Structure 1
Amino acid sequence: MKVFSMKRRPMTGLLCICMLTACGVDSAEPVNNEAARTPAQKIAKMQDSGGLPELERTDTVKGIDADKNGIRDDIDAYIQKTYPSEEQQKAVSQYARSLQASLSVDKADKIAVKAITNEKARAISCIFEKIPNGKSPNGDRVVKEILSMTTNTRQRLFEYIALDKALDGAVISLPSGHVCDE
């Protein structure tokens, strides 16, 4: 009799777990249940609501820059929408432009690599000047956000990593004086 009751307890436990699991998510409503959404559905919802920019994912490093201002159009639109102040837009645009140019620089040309890195350092300093810490968003978050948007494809990320490798052993100084282009 004890053998029978010992076998019965695990089966009863498994049955209870299966029933509870089945009751947890209504498969007829995956769109209304946030936990049941796929990552693609969550991203689409955030893009539709404007909480996440819809980024261009062409198979090129440069991407689409119809107005030829040195910034991908999707990032340009995001900057215009996200930063209400004109001076903040200019600072973030300066960084986005330098970051975009850094992806295309000849990694074997040490002088060009150092020059574009100095431009990025100036642009980052400009962001910290125009978007000081203590404000929302802070400069650090802005830099990370634009970097992640710019390197949003495998090819772009690999170009950024190649630039980082080309800088191995280089000494970069913090810029002084006037750091903003405009």
Structure 2
Amino acid sequence: MPRSALCTLGLCAGLLAACGGEEPPANDTPAPTVGDLESQGQLPTLDRSAGLAGPDAGGNGIRDDIDAWIAGRQATPELRAALAQLARAYQASVVRGSQDAAAALDAAAQSGQAISCIMTHSASEAEGMQAMSVLRKMTANTRERVQAYLAYARALDGAVMAVSDKDGCDAQ
């Protein structure tokens, strides 16, 4: 077979293979954005303002968006108080924990107490772990806050802390 015929045959075979066959067309519906999910109530609306602290109109050491998330949870008053305690501790770890080792240790001690309190008042270990994970993600929700949280974690590198055998809850 002449060389030009082989090239033509190869080109045709390649074009036919590229046609793809009978696969259904791809879904052209765009994926929902974070803003869409927030406006639909499927995700909490989070503060993304500049700065580490964010708005705290109540002055309780908890960002307003996280305060609203805690208030909206179907939980016992004791668990909501424990979540607020951990939210304050996580906020301290982001805002002050990266300043020096002493501030980081103080924030870590607060977090440890709050975690004990959450685990005491959660219906299950999984529920407590999930709530802690969500709070941490909500607290470190901007690049600046993530970097501060990582600096806090670096400041704790090698630290040893005692864990209380009490429930860890702040006095109510």
TM-score bin, normalised by smaller chain:
0.7 to 0.9
Aligned to 2:54: 63
Matching residue's letter, 1:144: S
- Output the CA distance in 2 between the equivalents of 1:84 and 1:132: 9
How far is 1:107 from its partner?
3.9
- Deviates most, 5-14 or 87-96: 5-14
Q: Which has the higher contact order (CA 8 A, sep 6+)?
A: 2
Q: TM-score, normalization: structure 1?
A: 0.81
How far is 1:110 from its partner?
3.2
Q: TM-score, normalization: structure 2?
A: 0.85
Matching residue's letter, 2:145: R
1:61–1:12 distance in 2 versus 1, CA, 3 Å: same
Identical amino acids, percent of aligned pairs = 32
1:139 aligns to 2:143 (yes or no): no
**Aligned partners of 2:113 and 2:169 also within 8 Å:** yes
Aligned to 1:17: 20
How far is 1:161 from its partner?
0.9
State the secondary structure of the residue aligned to 1:138: helix
What do residues 26-56 of structure 1 show as CA deviations (whole Å, max 9, x unaligned)? 5xxx3xxxxx32xxx3323321221211110
Residue of 43, 46, 58 corresponding to 2:37: 46
- Structure 1 vs Structure 2 CA RMSD: 2.3
Aligned to 1:125: 116
How far is 1:68 from its partner?
0.6
- Mind listing any 5+ residue stretches in structure 2 that lack a counterpart? none
Aligned pair count reads 167
1:82–1:112 distance in 2 versus 1, CA, 3 Å: same
What do residues 76-110 of structure 1 show as CA deviations (whole Å, max 9, x unaligned)? 00111123321111110100011111222264543
- Mind listing any 5+ residue stretches in structure 1 that lack a counterpart? 31-35
- Deviates most, 142-151 or 49-58: 49-58
